Structure formats: structure tokens, C-alpha cells
Structure 1
Amino acid sequence: MDLLPGVLAALDLPTPEGFRPPDGRSGGPAFASPLAVGDCAVASVAACLVAAAELAHARTGSRPGIALDTAHVAAAMRSEIHLRDPAGNGIDGFAPLSRLWPAADGWVRTHANYPWHRAALLTALGVTDDPGPAIAALPAAEVERRVYAAGGLAVAARTPDQWRAACPPDDAPLVSLTPTADAPARAAAPGPLPASGLRILDLTRVIAGPAGTRMLAALGADVLRVDDPNRPELPLHALDGVIGKLSTEIDAAAVDGRHALDRLVGEADVVVTGYRPGALRRFGLAPDQIADRHPGTIVATLSAWGSGPWAGRRGFDSLVQIATGIGWAVSPDGIRPGTLPCQLLDHATGYLLAAGILTALARRAAGGPATHVSVSLTRTATWLLDQPRKPPLPGTRDAHPAIDDHRVPLGDGWTGISPPGLLDGHPLRWPHLPPRYGQSPPAFP
């Protein structure tokens, strides 16, 4: 099932001559699911490569040929799982209290990886360690209500129909591209890669945003990630989330930090944010505020729940899977919700985010206006659920793609997965290795 034409049509991108995406069902265990996980994964990465080729054409007049391998996409969609330290060990991505729990009338999924979310979860339920008995004594919706009210993260497991009833679809496109302002763009000479010389200010965390911005780095952009020193990143994401980038810390609540951040926004071609809609307005970083102060700057926003009734809530891939009905759609027994074989909502949304940004850059390079690019995990979940279900190709469920074919050194003895795709036959590579979380000055190269 080729989903790419629909994605390219939404982005108003041409279908490249001679390129046919590989079958997404041939990705082995990473894509083994009753849902079209592999097809959505391949389409999202392929769209990113097509958009990169379009940007290269807008900047240089030449459109590079692109190629993609399903096994590479499958490895990339589980990149955080394939990270290895010098001893060959991985990093556990989920804390003990980030899991599925039985409630009095159903199931609840919690997310407590960050210490402040763990504290909010326990406080909301009036316990000090194990929330299991408290969750089991309450209806799932009540657990959800109490935990969110306390600043924590928990969602009741819903079917797709129950989700649509609770949060009707907002009809937003898979990747929303809204023109903002006509203004001269910062002049950046083209280079060997489509995004060479372009500056990306990365204000995202965890997987989706960082995956999209590191792909932009692999395509030549200079990416500077900024984190709040008061909310340090978890060990896994302090490595996985800064691959290919420079990484710095700025306290936006401090006057000098606010000035530094505004300076960087003014120097960036693209500002990418991964916070709840409206959460950055107090720092002057809402899309309309950036457009007013810095016309010509492209703003890209990523959220968990989109613009619907839950827009103001925090969220992560694992929670969106359970809330939107994916958990029940992939349940192996109809008794307990299941999970996707990879964090597809994060990764696919990240590549779609990158595709939208590259498309916006191509439009601007061709003399068009700046653009607000918007994506959400929930919209990607709807896209996945809307696809026809097909069985995996024969033998692929037990097939194990050769991960080591796509494993590369990340520095300091660490290894991980290389960026998926080829341009004119050349594989993409990560710059800025080894990554150093928070150790760069607050400046673009």
C-alpha cells in the first residue's frame, strides 16, 4: 500500500520520477501489526526525502535522486531502542510507573518518566510509591481527571469510536502549512546538501521533535537544540535527542536568557517548538509572536493532541496510542490494550514535521512567504487508524532486518542508527559527533 501520493498531495509536492517507495510491510518485527505501521513509516520518511529534493531544486536548480530501504526505515523507527553504549548496553526508555494499569472499569496508561510527572501522579492518587491499588479502585476516567488536574499524565483506554465521541476530529491536514508573512529570507548560500547553511532552532524534547530536527541536520542544516536547565533531559534523550546537533541550555524565565533566546530566533531560518499550544506565549514564542517580530522566519509546531478539546494537555506517544483507540485496535486478546511495535506516532510525526519544514523552506526559497508548519501525534494516529488493514508479507513477522547494516558510531564508543535514505546514491550521515548535551554556547555555528 503506497501512502506517499496522499502525503505529497497534502504538501503540494510533485511525485518524483522513477521513485517508488518500498513496501512498508516488509519491515519485520518493527512493523508487525494489524495496522498499517510499515506503510505509514515508509511514507513519512519518503515524504521527507521528496521535500528535501524539492528544497535542493529550489536552491540550486537540481533535484537529487532519492532512494529508501524498508529495513533502514524499520531500524530508524526504533532508533532509541538500538542505541548502544561502549559495552553494548542500551538505555531503558520507560520508568517503572510508566505503564498500563487495570482500573475499576477498564485500563489506564500513565507516563512518569520525568521526576516531576512521577511526583504529580503519586500526589494525585494520594500515595507515595505504588499507585496500582489506588488506580484499581477508581474508574479509568476519574484517574485520568485527577492525574491531569495535578499536572501529571494518565489517560483512560478508549476505542476509536469512544475517542471520536470525546474529541471529534478537527479536520486538520496531516501536515498543516499556513502562510504567515512576506519578508526577505536570511541569505544562505546553497551547499552540498539540500538544507546546507540553513539554521534550525530546536525547542523540542523526547522523540518526535528531536527525530525530525536531527533528520534536518542529516540533510545539511545547522541545528541548535535549546533546553531549560531547570528541567534536564533524561539520559536516553540527552543522547538520542541531540544526535547531529549542537545543544545548549537557556533559562527563558531569566531576563538574559530571554534576550539570548530572542537573538537566536532572529538568526534562525526555522524555529521548531514541541510544547502545548499556547505554552510558550509568555516567552514570546507563539507562532504569531515570532512572525510579528521576525517576518520571514518559518515556525513549526508539534503537539500531542492537536487543536481539539485536549489541545492544552501534555502528552506522549504511549498516551496518544491508548487514548485514540490504537491500543484496542492492536489488542492481542480484546481483554488488555496492546501497543504498536514501535513508537510510530513519535517517529512518523517527526519525519512529517521535517517534510513540512523542508517544503516551507522550498517555498520561501522560490520567493514565497514564510509558513507556519503544524503537526500532532493525534493527527498521525488518525492517519494510521484510517488506513485499510493488510496482513504482513509472508515471512516478515519473524524476519529480523540486519540492524548492523545501518549501525554507525556516534562518538565516545556509542553506536546508533544512521539517518534513513540516500540522495543521488549517497547515504545521509550525522554531523556533530559525538553529541554533547547542553555543552555548546548559545550560538549558531
Structure 2
Amino acid sequence: MTISSNLVNRTSFSAADIVKDIWTSLHLPPHALSSLSLPGHQTAPATPSSFKIGHLAQSSIALSALTASLVHSGRSSSSPTSTSPVSPIPRVSVPLDHALIEFKSEHLYNIDNQPLESVWGTIGGLHKTADGYVRIHDNFPNHALGTLQLLGLPPTANRQDVAAKVAQWKSIDLETEGTEKGKLAIYALRSYAEWDAHPQASAIDDNPILIKQLAPGPPKTLPETSSSRCLQGIRVLEMSRVIAAPVAGKTLAAHGADVLWVTSPNLPNQPVLDRDLGRGKRTIRLDIHNPDDKQRLLELLRSCDVFIQGYRPGSLAAYGLSQEELQKANPDIICANLSAFGPTGPWSQRRGFDSLVQTCSGMNDSEAAHFGAGEPARAMPCQALDHAAGYLLATGITAALHRRAQIGGSWVVDVSLAGVMKYLRSLGQYPGKTGFEGRDVEAQADVPADYLETRETVFGSMRAVKHSASVEGCEVGWEEMPKPLGSDEARWL
């Protein structure tokens, strides 16, 4: 298949090639790659999509585990008694089928065998406009109510009422009015050609993980531990919602980091997502508009290793929480940002979600064309951009921990949904409808029993997908189980 001139051509890449490509771009030690095993990798479609989601799932999870293994090995090599110039990296294994299942983990758990509620609202999704289509995101009440207000509709309006109003708008006009001028999440359906002509497309980096030193400083060796958990003793403060950034925190927690998940009492809960993505984390609620709460947050930031934030770029800086200000408070901090469109370009300040990036970038249009049923748009079978972005952000964070131990300083890591989209697109697509021959996992009954675990929570007995990465000689998995948001004390273990 042909690849746009805007893209690096990675159409021949296997999952191992992806790992090597991204590992090399992060300037990590090449010898570590020999410690990776990717069972079950195949060139054939692994899930029903024209996109190579199997490649992306296996490689992104493998990268997050291999960097954790690298950090763990660095503790022994930095020891005063170590004489080995190259410490052995504990072997990492990520089976393809388990990785794909983990990419749908938020849909494949239950509590006391009860079915999950839908995370989607009632007015959103794809709507026809006067000249095309838009996708409206309505998971959050403020987005749903704001969209109704923009369209001149009452709060009681239904999807049919919304469709009638949207049909009177041009796609780009509604996108601009809602997303750029308003505080909503509405994007026009574009083709690849339309996206490639947009200035934001060329502003997105070819590397999906951007890492740079924020300020120099002395090397900071990792705390010594007798634990077999790779990231034991690493303190992670996470301010995030929805899927992508919470996946990063959940991944670090699976390798032993102390993850303190900070949510706002002013924002709505999303219990279906929160219960899956809260595994491994302690949870606190702080209101940064409240001076006492903000002071407590700053105290935690001064003594953390990593700060993850998944809010719209620039929004926390307005509260005195910019990267530069955090670095002054904590000279060794690693600031990790998850955004929709990346740190540069005309859309860098915009909010967005996985489904919307799929829509505006041409992915939905191309997926529909490959499926060949005459649909205007077709979504991927999972939130692949969200999940991959989360694992890649965890990868960038642990790479920064390694670099901090080697050369010191504070670090910034950026991952965006659009950056993951660009990388996935560069892998090419399966020809015609052949990609849709892959088997989907739609219910927990389709998941092999050894990929599941049952744990007791305050909500009931939770059966959920285990982490798909294993690290030889190391414990991987979640100790903390989900609980109501704000259940824990605002302090480090």
C-alpha cells in the first residue's frame, strides 16, 4: 500500500522492529533488546481492523516492561559493590493475544458478575452535517450540556433533536465553534488527504515519545531496595482522567511504583473506567482552587519522582503548576504530559479524546473504506490510541528515570494521541477487507482463564485482566485494588 509523504514508511515493521525503533529513539542501551521475548507475534491481522493494532499493543506494552526491567537492573549496576560494566537486564515477555486483551481491559472486567454500564452518553457519536459529518464526545456531563446549549437545545433534548440541529451546520464551523471557541469536544470527520493538508498534521513528531532534559543537575540514583518489584520506591503523582494517562500510572504501579492518583471533587466520576484504571493506585481528592489543597499538592510534588498530568496543555500552568515552576520546587522531577495533539502546532492547546483523534485524522474514514460497507466512518475495535499512549508514556517516564540516574537533572516526557495515531498509520494497513478477518474479544467469556485474576475490593469480587508483561525474577501486578475516589491519605508510603 502507499504511504503519505508526511509519514515515515514502517510498513514492513514487526512488533520487535517497533520496539527497536522507539528504544533507539530514546537513546537506551541496545544490549537490553536481547532480553525481550514477544510470543505469538504474527504478520496476519490479530483483531478485526485494517490497522496493525496487534503490533502496537504488543510493542507498546513490551517497551513499558523493558524500560522497567532496565531501571531495575540499574539499581545493582549503580551499587558500590558492582563490578559489572553492563548489568544483565531481567528477561521480559509479552504474549500477543494477552496484550490485545489488555487493550480492552476496561470492557473485560466485572464485579460480582454484574454487567458493566456503558461509558458513552446518549447524544454523542457520529452526526451528519450539511456538508459531511462530525463526532461529538458526550462522556462528561459538561460536554453534553454545553453541546446542547451550543445547538440551542434544552437539557432534556435527545439524540434525534441533536441530529436535526447538527444537520444545519457545516462540519468545520461546528468543530471550530464547539472545540476552539467553546469548551466542548466536537471534531469534523476528515479523510487522510484533508488531515495531511492541515497544519497540525505536520507539527506532530515522527517519534511517539518525546523526552528532553528540562534542567541539568547531579545524577540521582534510585533508592536501594530488596524488593523484586522493578519500580519499588518510585513516587508517582498522577493528575488525570479517562483512559490514556491513567493507563500510564496503572502500568508504573504494576511494576511497584507508589502511585497517588489525584482527582478533583469538581469533576464527575467515571466509575466504569475508574475501577479498572484505579488498580494499583492509592486515591486522593484535592481541589487546586482551594489554597490548603493546593499547598498539600505542592508538598507532594516537592517529594515525588514523577508527575503525570493528562489535562489540556496549559491548563495547570494557569494555577502555578507549569513544568518550569515544578522544576524550581523539585529539581529532580520528571514531568510527563499526555495530550491530544502534542506540545506544538496550532491545535496543541486543544482538548481531544481517542475517538475524536480517530475521526479528525482520517483513520475512521480509511477504516470504513477498507471495510467496504458504504459507511461514512468506522471506529477501531478498541481505544488503541488511548492504551498505546498510556504504555508509551510509562515507557518515556522509566526512560527518564534511567537517564536521571545516569546524567541527572529534571526531565519532560510528552506523548500524544495524535502522535500514536501517526505512528500506527506509518505501519501501514492490511489490504482491502483482509484486516477484518482477525478475531475480536468482546466479552470476558472469550478471555483465557489464565489471563484473568479475581480480587476482593470494597465494591465486591472483581474479576479482571492481569497485566500481560512478565519480568523474569520480578513480581508484576497490582497490590492496591480500586476503591471510591478520595479514599486514601495525601501522603507517600
- TM-score (ref. length: structure 1): 0.94
Identity %: 29
Is residue 2:70 matched to residue 1:54? yes
Per-residue CA deviation, residues 368-399 of structure 1 (Å, 9 max, x unaligned), is 33211110001000111111223678974368
The one of 358, 367, 374 equivalent to 2:414 is 374
Residue 115 and residue 45 in structure 1: after superposition, are their counterparts in 2 closer, same or farther (change >3 A)? same
Contact 2:256 2:476 in 1 (8 A): no
Matches within 5 A, 1:401-440: 402-410=447-455, 411=457, 412-424=460-472, 428-440=476-488
Deviates more, 1:395-404 or 1:142-151: 395-404
Contact 1:7 1:43 in 2 (8 A): no
CA distance in 2: counterparts of 1:272 and 1:398, whole angstroms: 32
Residue 38 of structure 1: aligned partner: 54
1:93 deviates by: 1.8
CA distance in 1: counterparts of 2:436 and 2:266, whole angstroms: 50
Residue 161 of structure 1: aligned partner: 193
1:293 deviates by: 2.1
Matches within 5 A, 1:354-365: 354-365=394-405
Contact 2:204 2:345 in 1 (8 A): no
CA distance in 2: counterparts of 1:171 and 1:99, whole angstroms: 26
Residue 321 and residue 403 in structure 1: after superposition, are their counterparts in 2 closer, same or farther (change >3 A)? farther
Structure 1 runs not aligned, ≥5 long: none
Secondary structure, aligned partner of 1:155: strand
Is residue 2:392 matched to residue 1:336? no
Corresponding letter in the other structure for 1:156: A
Contact 1:242 1:436 in 2 (8 A): no
- How many residue pairs match? The answer is 444
Is residue 2:34 matched to residue 1:17? yes
1:9 deviates by: 1.3
Is residue 2:313 matched to residue 1:313? no
Secondary structure, aligned partner of 1:336: coil
Corresponding letter in the other structure for 2:224: A
Matches within 5 A, 1:220-259: 220-259=256-295
Per-residue CA deviation, residues 11-40 of structure 1 (Å, 9 max, x unaligned), is 2222521534345558977x2211111111
CA distance in 1: counterparts of 2:183 and 2:435, whole angstroms: 43
CA distance in 2: counterparts of 1:209 and 1:388, whole angstroms: 26
Residue 188 of structure 1: aligned partner: 223
Deviates more, 1:312-321 or 1:95-104: 95-104
Residue 209 of structure 2: aligned partner: 175
Secondary structure, aligned partner of 1:147: helix
The one of 98, 112, 118 equivalent to 2:138 is 112
Residue 427 of structure 2: aligned partner: 387
Secondary structure, aligned partner of 2:110: coil
Secondary structure, aligned partner of 2:284: strand
Q: C-alpha root-mean-square deviation of aligned residues, in Å?
A: 2.2
Contact 2:35 2:90 in 1 (8 A): no
Structure 2 runs not aligned, ≥5 long: 1-13, 78-87
CA distance in 2: counterparts of 1:421 and 1:193, whole angstroms: 13
Secondary structure, aligned partner of 1:272: strand
Residue 4 of structure 1: aligned partner: 19
- TM-score (ref. length: structure 2): 0.85
Secondary structure, aligned partner of 2:34: coil
Contact 2:214 2:409 in 1 (8 A): yes
CA distance in 2: counterparts of 1:243 and 1:396, whole angstroms: 29
Contact 2:62 2:94 in 1 (8 A): yes
Deviates more, 1:6-15 or 1:311-320: 6-15
Residue 384 and residue 394 in structure 1: after superposition, are their counterparts in 2 closer, same or farther (change >3 A)? closer
Per-residue CA deviation, residues 13-72 of structure 1 (Å, 9 max, x unaligned), is 22521534345558977x221111111111111111111111112112352111111111
Residue 235 and residue 402 in structure 1: after superposition, are their counterparts in 2 closer, same or farther (change >3 A)? closer
The one of 175, 178, 183 equivalent to 1:147 is 178
CA distance in 2: counterparts of 1:281 and 1:422, whole angstroms: 37
